[in-house]
Amino acid sequence: MELQITDYQSFKSEVLDNHHVLEQLLRERDETKLTALWRLADETRRLYVGEDVHLRGLVEISNHCSRQCHYCGLRSPNSSVTRYRMSVEEVTECALKAAFLGYGTVVLQAGEDPGLSPDIISDIVRRIKKDTSLAVTLSLGERDREELIEWRRAGADRYLLRFETSNSNLFKAIHPHKTSQTLSRLDILNVLKTLGYEVGSGVMVGIPGQRYEDLVNDLALFRELDLDMIGIGPYIPHPMTPLGKVLSSEDDIPADALTAYKMTALTRLVRPDSNIPCTTAIRTINRADGLELGLQRGANVAMPNLTPIKYRALYDIYPGKACQDESAEICHPCITRRIESTGRKIGKGQGSRSQHKAVR
Ligand code: 5AD
C-alpha cells in the first residue's frame, strides 16, 4: 500500500488509529510505494525536532548478566563470553571523552549485573554530573524501584528499557522470569516516569514468532506510554542463543533494514517529538548507508560507541556489530561527515525531548 497523505495533520486524523492501514504499510515491500511514507516521516521530524542530530556516547560498562533472554549473546548460560566490568575510573574517563568530543549525553549500558551495586552506579553518576554538563542515561535492565530512586537522586537524567515486544505471550516466551521479580518492564517504565526520568523504550523487529499486528500494537504502546525516546532495531540471530538456532518460518516478519525503517518512520509519525535513534542494529545490517537512510526516515539521534576498544568485542549481544573496532577518535570525524552528507548538523546541548519544544 502507498501512503496517500502528504501532511502530518491528515495522517493524525486519518491513519493514526487505523490499524488496518498501518499494517498494510508495514507489509509493503515495494520500495517505490514507500517514498511517500519516508517523505512524511522526514518532514514530521524536521517540523517537530528540527535538523539537529544528537549524539549520545554509548559506554558498555559491563557484560555480566544474570538473565537468560533467549536472543541475547550476553545471557548468563553463554559460557563462551569472557566477562568484564569497567572500573569507576574507566567509565568516568569515557564520559570525559564524550564531553571533549562535544556530545551532550553519555549512555551507560550493561547486562543485568548484580555486581554493579547501586552505590557504584551512584558514584559514577555523581562524578560525571560534577565534572561535565552531560545528560546521563542509564540502561541497566530491570532494576528495583529503590535503585532507580537512588540513581535519580544521584543525578541520572534518563533511563532506557525496551519492552522488546507488546505481545505479552511472545515476551514471556523469550524472557525467562526471574524469581524475585515484582515489576514488569511496563511497570518499571511507569515508575521511571513518576521519578522524573526521561524514559526511553523500544522493540526488536523480526523476532521469530512476531507478527505484523504485533508491530501495530507496538506503535500503539509507544503512543500510550508517551515515550521520550524510542529505539527500534532488527532482531539479529546470535548462534549461542536458543532463538539463534530457530529457523525462520514463512509467517515471520523479515528482520531486515526495510522493516526496521518502516517502523522507524511510523514511530516518528505516532510520537512526532520523541528522540528516535538510528540504532546500531540497523547500521549493522546496512553498513553502507544504514545511518543516512535512518536519519532520512524519521531518526534524529545517533549513538557512537565510546567503550574502550579492548571490551568492544566482549559486549556481544549480537554478532557483527557495525563500527566495532573504531575508536572514538576515528568514529567522530566519520560520523560527523556522514551526518553532514545528509544536509543535517550535529546538535548542541543535551538534546532532551523538552528542548525540542523550542523548535516548533
Ligand atoms: N538482536 C537485536 N537486538 C538485540 N538486543 C539484544 N539482543 C539482540 C539481538 N540478538 C537488543 C535488545 C536490548 C538491547 C540492549 O539490545 O532490544 O534491549
pTM: predicted TM-score of the whole model, two decimal places:
0.97
Q: What is the mean pLDDT of the chain?
A: 96
Q: Comparing C-alpha atoms, which of 238, 230, 225 is closest to residue 192?
A: 225
Looking at per-residue confidence, does 181 or 359 come out higher?
Answer: 181
Ligand 1 pocket: which of 204, 243, 245 to mutate (most atoms <8 Å of CB)?
204
The pLDDT tens digits of the residues spanning 111-140 come to: 999 999 999 999 999 999 999 999 999 999
Which residues have any ligand 1 atom within 6 Å of their CB?
A: 71-72, 162, 164, 204, 233, 235-236, 238, 281, 317-318
What is the 226 CA–ligand 1 centroid distance (Å)? 22
On whether the CB atoms of residues 85 and 59 are closer than 8 A, the answer is no
Bridge partners (DSSP) listed for residue 60: 109
The pLDDT tens digits of the residues spanning 137-164 come to: 999 999 999 999 999 999 999 999 999 9
Number of C-beta neighbours around residue 214 at 10 A: 19
Integer angstrom CA distances of residue 280 from 53, 56, 250: 15, 12, 26
The pLDDT tens digits of the residues spanning 21-33 come to: 999 999 999 999 9
What is the 322 CA–ligand 1 centroid distance (Å)? 14
Residue 358 has what pLDDT?
60
Asked whether the predicted pLDDT for residue 341 surpasses 90, the reply is yes
Model confidence band, residue 250 (pLDDT cutoffs 50, 70, 90): confident
3-state secondary structure of 107: strand
Q: Which residues contact 46 (CB under 8 A, 6 or more apart)?
A: none
Written as nine digits, the cell of 263 is: 517502523
CA–CA gap between residue 69 and residue 126 (Å, rounded): 31
Looking at per-residue confidence, does 50 or 355 come out higher?
Answer: 50
3-state secondary structure of 347: coil
The pLDDT tens digits of the residues spanning 182-214 come to: 899 999 999 999 999 999 999 999 999 999 999
What is the sign of the dihedral through the CA atoms of 239, 241, 242 and 246?
negative
Written as nine digits, the cell of 210 is: 512476531
Q: Name the percent of the chain lying above pLDDT 70.
A: 99
Ligand 1 pocket: which of 56, 71, 246 to mutate (most atoms <8 Å of CB)?
71
Report the pLDDT averaged over residues 222-226: 96
Q: Which residues contact 353 (CB under 8 A, 6 or more apart)?
A: 198, 228, 229, 273, 274, 275
3-state secondary structure of 74: coil
What is the 175 CA–ligand 1 centroid distance (Å)? 12
Q: Which residues contact 232 (CB under 8 A, 6 or more apart)?
A: 202, 203, 204, 205, 260, 263, 264, 267, 276, 279, 282
